Structure 1
Amino acid sequence: MLRWTTILITLSVSGGALADIYKYVDSAGRTYYTNIKPKPANSSLYKRIMETKPYRYMRPAPTMAGYRGYFGRNKHKFSDLINQAAYRHQVDPKLVHAVIQTESAYNAGAVSSAGAVGLMQLMPDTARRYGVDDRRDPLQNVDGGTHYLRDLIEMFSPNLELAVAAYNAGEGAVIKYNYSIPPYPETQNYVKQVLAAYNRSSL
């Protein structure tokens, strides 16, 4: 079964129009992106994380080649910042990249329906906990998110799956379910997606 979600990416196309990009994960944990909205029959398989601004003019949606270019440029743009935060907090940079790819697809302006913001999708409580004053600032966001990830890795060592699950669902949920991945489809899919991106990373 495919899990759809609208990731918070605003792509500019000719005339200033904007478009949503949809992401889905297959049963093997592979991630795919498309600018084609899922059909109503699949509506239960995705949730809207962000709604782009209304089209001012009816324009064609951006091509996926354009999206891949956007993704690659942002990944490159933030790589030094991510690597520095990973070094500072002693976390494998490939894992930080995998979390960011899954959380926001390298979109620093990402805002979820739950109120998570930025590259690492920090919630207000987590931001306060790690001294992040501006969740939209990539430097603060990545530093706070990486610090949090490091603490979760230490908390659930040596089980990386539990640390990743806790980043999504909270450490309390992992502890509540006897130190196992919580039985939430979103969290279970999230863990698969992050670890798949981590394992295939070639930074």
Structure 2
Amino acid sequence: MRKPIRHIPILKPGTWMAVVLILLLALPAAADIYMYIDSQGVMHFTNVPTSSDYRVYIKERPKRQGTQMDANRFDRYIDEAAGLHGLDFPLIKAVIRAESAFDPKAVSKKGALGLMQIMPANLEAFRVYDPFDPWQNIMGGARYLKALIQRFDGQVPLALAAYNAGPRAVDTYRGIPPIPETEAYVKKVMKFFYLYKNG
């Protein structure tokens, strides 16, 4: 059984309506995430709608075969985020490649959004108001990555594990959690990191 995404407040409806309409018209079919705005103006997200109040928010894009996103199209944003947050350009780019393969409209099955796959519950904390805006998503993801690197005393593999599995999991195991997905994720990002660093 699919677990519903946590319902969270994001923004007042006036700010989002135009963005939502544009996104809904632009994306291909394959419904995935639903949203409704309550009487207090609070946005609620879920992947398992529990009432008719929910409307499709964004449809998960089917994976395209034989096509690749332009790996360099967001370099100026990555460079800006690296300078602003004191991170290595190759590291941010490696995370984006592993998370979304440079697809700014990527939506995971767990509901993570955009280039750096930010969960809806974290958008406000990361100062991301439109998760499908490449600049905002990269800035928000880089801000979080920097905080994790600081939390784990500059140990990038631990920060990456926390980015994937959450910092509590890393704290609990005092290292990279023995979760196959997380172990594979850290190896993948580090591989891309060295590829971009030495490329």
TM-score (norm 2): 0.66
Amino acid at match of 1:196: K
The aligned runs of 1:140-155 (5 Å cut-off) are: 140-155=136-151
Amino acid at match of 2:142: T
Amino acid at match of 1:118: G
Q: CA 1:124 to 1:79, structure 2 compared with 1: closer, same or farther past 3 Å?
A: same
Where do 5+ consecutive residues of structure 2 fail to align?
A: 1-27, 29-59
Amino acid at match of 2:99: E
1:197 to 187, 192, 196: 192
Residue number in structure 2 paired with 1:157: 153
Amino acid at match of 1:126: N
1:30-75 alpha-carbon deviations (Å, 9 max, x no partner): xxxxxxxxxxxxxxxxxxxx5529xxxxxxx854xxx2xx33x2x2
Say how many residue pairs are matched: 140
- The structural deviation recorded for 1:76 is 1.8
2:167 to 171, 188, 193: 171
Higher strand residue share = 1
Q: Secondary structure at the match of 1:120?
A: coil
Contact 2:61 2:107 in 1 (8 A): no
- The structural deviation recorded for 1:158 is 3.1
Matched, 1:181 2:173: no
The aligned runs of 1:1-203 (5 Å cut-off) are: 50=60, 52=62, 63=66, 67=67, 70-71=68-69, 73=70, 75-177=71-173, 179-201=174-196, 202=198
The runs of at least 4 aligned residues of structure 1 exceeding 4 Å deviation read none
1:60-109 alpha-carbon deviations (Å, 9 max, x no partner): x854xxx2xx33x2x22111011101111111010000000000000000
TM-score (norm 1): 0.65
- What percentage of aligned pairs have identical amino acids? 42
Where do 5+ consecutive residues of structure 1 fail to align?
A: 1-17, 19-49, 54-60
